Structures are given as structure tokens and as C-alpha cells.
A and B are shown apart, each in its own frame.
Chain A
Amino acid sequence: MDFKIRSEFLEVFNEFFPKLYRFCLLRVDSKELAEDLTSETFLKTWQYLKKGGLVKSYPVFLYQVARNLIIDHWRSKKRGIVPLDENIADSLVDFSQLPEEISRNMELKTVIESMNNLEEEQRQLLHWRFVDSLSIKEIAELSGKKPNAVYVSIYRAVKKLKSFYA
């Protein structure tokens, strides 16, 4: 395999591994499972590349693989919906931490819990746009929508989230 592809993959790994971990963590039961899914996402992508597959856009490809793995996980657990687990939000607040960290994590918990009120599609859109800073074009590819529709959906999702804060 070409060295260029390997080094490119390593760069992608450095940039997206923490992002994908975050994406998985907010959609599964436990940190351990999120770690496994993140690792598996990269492993699957690497195996695809090794077979000679071409990846146009790494973010789109990686998030698609991660999303499929998450769906598979929930299907295997026979759960139709992909909820944001409250345990994850709770696990962020560890009272053995420093007071500043606790307050920071409390804020985080509030954000996650309010995001939990949104539909999964809206949560994904907001996550990709504002947390992982994906471009509208990439989000459009991931969500299978037109860029204009993505803009509108993001706007509606933020508006809905705003109503929970009010």
C-alpha cells in the first residue's frame, strides 16, 4: 500500500479519533463501548482502504461507518430508537473532581440533557456542525439532504434547542 495513503490515514486518525469517540460516546451505553466503536470504525475504514477502496471524503466516510456501527449495536440490543443515555451525562459529573471541573461538567451535563430532547437527526446535525465543525457540504452528504435543506434543519434544531433553554 502506498505510503501516502498510510500517512494520510494517520493524519485523519489524529484529527478524527477524538471527534468520533465523542460522537459515539453520546450515542451509546458506556465509555468502553464508545471506545470499542471508535476503534472499530477506524479499523473498518483501514480494511476498506487496504482492499483498494477509495475514500472521497474521510469525515463523511468515518461518520457513516460510525453511525452504522451504532445502529447495529442498538439493533442487536433490539432497541428501535437511539437515545442519548443519561448515564453518560451523569458519568461526566464525578464528585471526586476539582470544584471547577465539577461545575464545568455540570454545564456539559445540562447541554447534553437538553440535546437529548431533540430528535436523533437534529442532534446529529448540530453535533456535526457545531461540535465537529463539518462543512455544510459534508453534512449534506452524510444526511442525504441538499445543502439548503441542511441549513434549514440546523436552524430549526437550534431554534428548538433554544426553546428548552428559555
Chain B
Amino acid sequence: MIKFLKVINEIKKIRKIKPDEKWLEGQRRHFIRLLDIESAPDANPLFRGRFWFGAVSHKFFQPVLIVFLLFGFFGGLVNFSQIALPNESFYFLKLFSEQTRGYFIFNQTNRLNFSLRMIQRRLEEIDSQNFISDFNSEAVLAALSGIENNLEKTVSLLDS
């Protein structure tokens, strides 16, 4: 067994054969030039276009990008829902966004103003029903219940 290992160690002596350092360095330079690494746009982080593309493909940025896109999509939907009327499918999103916005108003006066603005909105929604050919009584009732809720809030705010 020892002899076996000795033979292997003898073979390993071939590792001592090394190319001429100068020639090797010359070859390395030649290949670096050939690969065009230094002038590659993505090798330079200051090259913005490719840098951002590289950053997007990076593992860390992928979840950030997904969250960013989701927020963008949801924000777009919320924005789009602001013109929705009570009989339309995105109306619930409009109410949801208004409610959420209401939660983040901490000043009493601002809250009161916001509540009054919401009553105004509901009234505008009922008013718009008069100009629509297929008048929807359910939509009017939904808007009215909205007014009722907002009025309750306004009264409670005034009491406090």
C-alpha cells in the first residue's frame, strides 16, 4: 500500500512542470483582449443601462421588483376605481381606498372635513345616476347607505 502511494506521489511530481511565466502572462493578456472584458459594458457598473438590467436579474432585486410591480398594479387599480359608480365592479375598491385613507387621518378637523367630502362624493354618485339611461335603484341605495355611515361618523366626530 505504501509503495502504491509512493508511486502516486511520484506521478504528482509532474505538477512541477510549469509554463514560462512571461509567456503565460502574455497569453493571459492576449485572451483578456480577446474576451474584451475591460470594454464590456456590463463589466462597468457605471454603465447605467446594462447595470440596471444586471441588477434586475440579481437574486436580491427580484423579490423587490415583484413587490414593486404588485404595488404598481394595485395602485393603478385603486386609481382607476376612483371614477367607479355604485353599480360598477370596482366600486368596492373605491370604498376600501377611502376607508383606508380615513384610518390614516389623525387630526380631528381633517377627519371631519374628510367625512364631509365623502358625503359630497356619495351625493354626486346619486346625482350621476339621473344621467345614466339604465337607472339602478340598488346603486342609489348603496350610495345612500354610504351617506348614512359618513353622517354617523360626522356626528360622532362633532360630539367628541
Binding site for B on A (CB under 8 A): 2-3, 6-7, 9-10, 13-14, 17-18, 21-22, 25-26, 35, 38-39, 42-43, 46, 92, 104, 107-108, 111-112, 114-115, 126-127, 130-131, 158-159, 161-162, 165-166
Contact with A along B16-52 (1 / 0, CB 8 A): 1111000110011011101111001011000000000
Chain B residues with CB under 8 Å of A21's CB are: 18-19, 24
Chain B residues with CB under 8 Å of A18's CB are: 18-19, 24
Q: Given A25, A26, A42, A158, which contacts B7 in the complex, CB threshold below 8 Å?
A: A158
Chain B residues with CB under 8 Å of A111's CB are: 10-11, 13-14
Residue B4 CB within 8 A of the other chain: yes
Known contacts A35-B23, A39-B27, A158-B8; is A46 also within 8 Å of B34 by CB? yes
A-B pairs under 8 A by CB, number? 91
Q: Check if A10 sits within 8 Å of B14, measured CB to CB.
A: no
CA distance A161 to B12 in the complex (A): 13
CA distance A165 to B9 in the complex (A): 12
B40 CB, min distance to chain A CBs, angstroms: 5
Q: Given B17, B28, B32, B42, which contacts A22 in the complex, CB threshold below 8 Å?
A: B17
Binding site for A on B (CB under 8 A): 3-4, 6-8, 10-19, 23-24, 27-28, 30-32, 34-37, 40, 42-43, 54
Of listed B17, B30, B40, residue having the most chain A CB within 10 A? B17
Q: Given A46, A104, A161, A165, which contacts B16 in the complex, CB threshold below 8 Å?
A: A104
Q: Check if A108 sits within 8 Å of B17, measured CB to CB.
A: yes
Known contacts A9-B35, A158-B7; is A131 also within 8 Å of B27 by CB? no
Query: B36's closest neighbor in chain A, by CB?
Result: A6
Known contacts A6-B40, A18-B24; is A13 also within 8 Å of B31 by CB? yes
Q: Check if A6 sits within 8 Å of B11, measured CB to CB.
A: no
B132 CB, min distance to chain A CBs, angstroms: 57
Q: Given A9, A35, A131, A162, which contacts B14 in the complex, CB threshold below 8 Å?
A: A131
CA distance A135 to B44 in the complex (A): 36
A133 CB, min distance to chain B CBs, angstroms: 9
Q: Check if B11 sits within 8 Å of A126, measured CB to CB.
A: yes
Chain A residues with CB under 8 Å of B42's CB are: 2-3
